[in-house]
């Protein structure tokens, strides 16, 4: 984009930032490479699969039958990991694949902004987003939220560039592909993240951009909509079921819940207990202040659109998770963090470059100290989260080994506590007769037990379901494993 075009977008004839091409793209490439390496070193490829990951991975897996797929889920992440999971059960290989892919996606998303901001702003924005513990933790995971985040970042950058230079084909294709990626992963999140873009298209009568954006969203959501009619009783019914699983969408003030979850809780439901150390929450409270400061800087520099639009998209992306659900998970806000990183980075660069002389040195020192402290907090939370997650996944793996020892091995069926992840680790199918994952009945389970090993898992001393009341009980740590009588016990692990 030329300087005059940038000036048109900004509403002034002052020259705009240089384009980030050739050598000037190296800083954002280095950020992406560092992000990939940090995932491999800090999260580590050996981290086992989590509950939701086992659901997504099992849909196209060489290791275990597909788990029940509830209404809110979308199959985008299952298809993204299919090049690995369709033929290999190696979690390490899957983690490396996703770490490399997430680093490449971050580079491409930042690159879409190269004519809108100087490369130093983009590199800092990428660093701020990539250094968050939640970004590092979920980058190599088979979960959709990170991919919605980079899709939102890329879509917003392509939209602004297309709006400024009247849309080259590559920019329009980038907008459509980014919107499709978001909707492919989570259709409802894609709509929330693009609401300001859709509104701006209508207000400014950018019909071509509106058509491209809607086409991208529709192409990504098509499978989800078709599946709604095939498997869930229609689109309205699927949306209703999804709302019920989320606890009933309506007004719920979840801001404090999100603060509680920042200490490393993957899912805060119900979100009770003590707040984390105040040092953990400081960055989250400062974030909107810096974003507003970035907007003020942009207004004074007469380049409002490139800052206001991502700020608005971040706000709408965060809104349902702050005010419409009654629980929290840090990953829900990843799209908002990615988008707001742009105005925050712009504000920080302005704060350290505007002063002169001794004041500039003071500003640079304060920024360096602040970023170092922020990074130390993020790494501490990440290490704690990885350690706790590893312990839980080891418990599932050990339970699977015990089930194998009892003769429960594929083809087989598990029910009860943590049946979905433990079944995946064991190589079994999973079933439930009640709750959001209900997909079977007592009759079906009894019939299945006549032709394959079936077991139920309950907490030690807990009351088993009626169909497992007379099954043989094997005590294992904090669990009671009940095995259907037709299953042969004993054998090697």
DSSP letters of 175-225? HHHHHHHHHHH-HHHHHHHHHHHHHHHHHHT-HHHHHHHHHHHHHHHHHHH
Rounded CA-CA distance 113/342 in Å is 9
Q: What pLDDT, on the 0 to 100 scale, is given for residue 493?
A: 31
DSSP letters of 390-418? HHHHHHHHHHHHHHHHTT--SS-EEEETT
Model confidence over 216-264: pLDDT tens digits? Answer: 999 999 999 999 999 999 999 999 999 998 888 888 889 999 999 999 9
Cα 50 → chain centroid: 13
Tokens, residue 217: 């969203």
Rounded CA-CA distance 447/470 in Å is 15
Kindly report the length of the chain.
493
Rounded CA-CA distance 263/275 in Å is 8
User: Any idea what DSSP says for residue 478?
Assistant: T
User: Any idea what DSSP says for residue 486?
Assistant: T
Q: What is the pTM of this model?
A: 0.92
Query: Do 77 and 144 touch, CB atoms closer than 8 A?
Result: yes
Rounded CA-CA distance 104/229 in Å is 35
| Range name among 91-100, 127-136, 351-360 with the lowest pLDDT average | 351-360
For the chain, the structural domain boundaries read 3-354, 392-483
- Rounded to the nearest integer, the mean pLDDT of the chain is 91
Model confidence over 96-132: pLDDT tens digits? Answer: 999 999 999 999 999 999 999 999 999 999 999 999 9
Q: What pLDDT, on the 0 to 100 scale, is given for residue 304?
A: 84
* Res. 303 pLDDT band, cuts 50 70 90: confident
Q: What pLDDT, on the 0 to 100 scale, is given for residue 335?
A: 98
354 has pLDDT over 90: no
Q: Under DSSP, is residue 481 helix (H, G, I), strand (E, B) or coil? A: strand
**Count of beta carbons in the 10 Å neighbourhood of residue 362:** 12
Query: Do 454 and 423 touch, CB atoms closer than 8 A?
Result: no
Rounded CA-CA distance 16/67 in Å is 52
Model confidence over 313-332: pLDDT tens digits? Answer: 999 999 999 999 989 999 99
In angstroms, the first-to-last Cα distance of the chain is 63
Q: What pLDDT, on the 0 to 100 scale, is given for residue 13?
A: 35
Query: Do 148 and 185 touch, CB atoms closer than 8 A?
Result: yes
Nearest to 308 by CA among 342, 350, 349, 285: 342
> What mean pLDDT is predicted for residues 42-65?
95
Model confidence over 112-121: pLDDT tens digits? Answer: 999 999 999 9
490 has pLDDT over 80: no
């Amino acid at each position: 984009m030329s300087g005059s075009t940038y000036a048109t977008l900004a509403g002034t004839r002052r020259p705009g930032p240089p384009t980030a091409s050739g050598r000037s793209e190296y800083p954002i490439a280095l950020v992406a490479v560092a992000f990939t390496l940090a995932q491999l070193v800090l999260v580590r490829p050996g981290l086992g699969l989590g509950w939701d990951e086992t659901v997504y991975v099992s849909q196209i897996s060489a290791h275990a039958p597909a788990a029940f797929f509830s209404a809110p889920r979308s199959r985008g992440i299952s298809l993204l990991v299919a090049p690995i999971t369709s033929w290999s059960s190696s979690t390490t290989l899957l983690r490396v694949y996703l770490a490399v892919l997430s680093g490449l996606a971050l580079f491409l998303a930042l690159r879409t902004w190269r004519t809108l901001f100087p490369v130093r702003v983009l590199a800092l924005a990428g660093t701020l987003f990539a250094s968050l513990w939640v970004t590092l933790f979920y980058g190599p995971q088979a979960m959709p939220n990170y991919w919605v985040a980079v899709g939102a970042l890329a879509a917003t950058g392509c939209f602004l560039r297309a709006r400024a230079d009247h849309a080259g084909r590559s920019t329009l294709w980038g907008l459509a592909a980014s919107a499709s990626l978001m909707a492919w992963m989570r259709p409802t999140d894609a709509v929330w993240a693009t609401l300001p873009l859709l509104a701006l298209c209508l207000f400014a009568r950018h019909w071509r951009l509106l058509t491209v954006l809607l086409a991208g969203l529709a192409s990504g959501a098509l499978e989800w909509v078709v599946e709604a009619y095939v498997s869930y009783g229609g689109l309205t019914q699927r949306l209703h079921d999804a709302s019920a699983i989320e606890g009933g969408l309506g007004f719920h003030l979840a801001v404090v819940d999100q603060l509680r979850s920042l200490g490393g809780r993957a899912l805060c439901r119900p979100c009770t207990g003590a707040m984390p150390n105040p040092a953990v929450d400081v960055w989250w409270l400062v974030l909107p202040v810096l974003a507003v400061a970035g907007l003020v800087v942009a207004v004074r520099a007469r380049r409002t659109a490139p800052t206001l639009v991502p700020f608005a998209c971040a706000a709408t992306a965060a809104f349902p998770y702050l005010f419409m659900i009654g629980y929290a998970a840090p990953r829900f806000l990843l799209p908002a963090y990615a988008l707001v990183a742009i105005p925050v980075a712009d504000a920080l660069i302005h704060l350290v470059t505007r002063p002169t002389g001794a004041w500039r040195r003071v500003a640079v020192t304060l920024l360096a100290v602040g970023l170092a402290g922020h990074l130390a907090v993020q790494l501490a939370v990440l290490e704690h989260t990885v350690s706790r997650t590893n312990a839980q996944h080891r418990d599932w793996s050990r339970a699977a080994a015990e089930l194998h020892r009892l003769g429960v091995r594929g083809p087989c069926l598990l029910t009860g506590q943590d049946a979905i992840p433990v079944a995946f680790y064991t190589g079994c199918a999973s079933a439930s007769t009640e709750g959001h994952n209900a997909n079977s009945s007592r009759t079906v389970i009894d019939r299945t037990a006549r032709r394959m090993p079936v077991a139920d898992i309950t907490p030690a001393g807990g009351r088993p379901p009626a169909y497992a009341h007379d099954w043989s009980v094997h005590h294992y740590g904090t669990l009671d494993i009940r095995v259907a009588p037709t299953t042969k016990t004993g054998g090697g692990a």
